[in-house]
Structure 1
Amino acid sequence: MNRSEGVVPARRRGLADEVADRVRDAVFDGVYAPGSQLREVELAEALGVSRGPVREALLKLEREGLVRSEWHRGATVTALSDVDVAELDSLRAALEQLAVGLVVDHAPDDALAAIDAVVRRMERAADEHEMVRCDLDFHDAVYAAAGHRRLREAWQAIRSQVHLFLLTRIGVETDGYLAGIPAEHRQLADALRARDREQALELFAAHRRHAADILRGAGRD
Structure 2
Amino acid sequence: MSEPGRVVPARRRGLADEVADRVRDAIFGGAYPPGAQLREVELSAALGVSRGPVREALLKLEREGLVRSEWHRGAIVTTLSDVDVAELDSLRSALEQLAVRLVVANAPEADLAAIDEVVDRMDRARDEHEMVRCDIDFHDAVYAASGHRRLVEAWQAIRSQVYLFLLTRIGVSSDGYLTSIPAEHRRLASALRARDGEKALELFAVHRGEAFDVLTGK
Counterparts of residues 137-156 of structure 1 (less than 5 Å): 137-156=137-156
2:169, 2:4 → 1: CA distance? 55
Matching of residue 198 in structure 1 with residue 182 in structure 2: no
The Cα shift of 1:72 comes to 1.7
1:107, 1:188 → 2: CA distance? 14
Amino acid of the structure 2 residue aligned with 1:135: D
Match of 2:5 in 1: 3
Match of 1:49 in 2: 49
Match of 1:37 in 2: 37
1:64, 1:2 → 2: CA distance? 32
The Cα shift of 1:2 comes to 7.5
1:2, 1:212 → 2: CA distance? 51
**Secondary structure of 2:38's match?**
coil
Match of 1:209 in 2: 209
Match of 1:28 in 2: 28
Q: Gaps spanning 5+ residues in structure 1: where?
A: none
1:107, 1:49 → 2: CA distance? 44
2:54, 2:92 → 1: CA distance? 30
Match of 1:132 in 2: 132
Q: Gaps spanning 5+ residues in structure 2: where?
A: none
Counterparts of residues 1-221 of structure 1 (less than 5 Å): 3-4=5-6, 7-217=7-217
**Secondary structure of 2:168's match?**
helix
1:2, 1:140 → 2: CA distance? 42
1:214, 1:56 → 2: CA distance? 34
Paired residues, what number?
216
Q: TM-score, normalised by structure 2?
A: 0.97
2:206, 2:53 → 1: CA distance? 42
1:151, 1:3 → 2: CA distance? 34
CA deviation map 1:71-106 (0-9, x unaligned): 222100000000000000000000000000000001
> What is the root-mean-square deviation of aligned Cα atoms in Å?
1.1
1:106, 1:47 → 2: CA distance? 44
1:72, 1:146 → 2: CA distance? 44
**Secondary structure of 1:38's match?**
coil
2:74, 2:31 → 1: CA distance? 18
**Secondary structure of 1:75's match?**
strand
Amino acid of the structure 2 residue aligned with 1:171: G
The Cα shift of 1:9 comes to 2.6
Moved segments of 4+, more than 3 Å? none
The Cα shift of 1:209 comes to 0.4
Cα 1:37–1:113 shift into 2, 3 Å:
same
Q: TM-score, normalised by structure 1?
A: 0.96
2:197, 2:25 → 1: CA distance? 35
CA deviation map 1:98-140 (0-9, x unaligned): 0000000011111111101100000111110110000000000
The Cα shift of 1:10 comes to 1.4
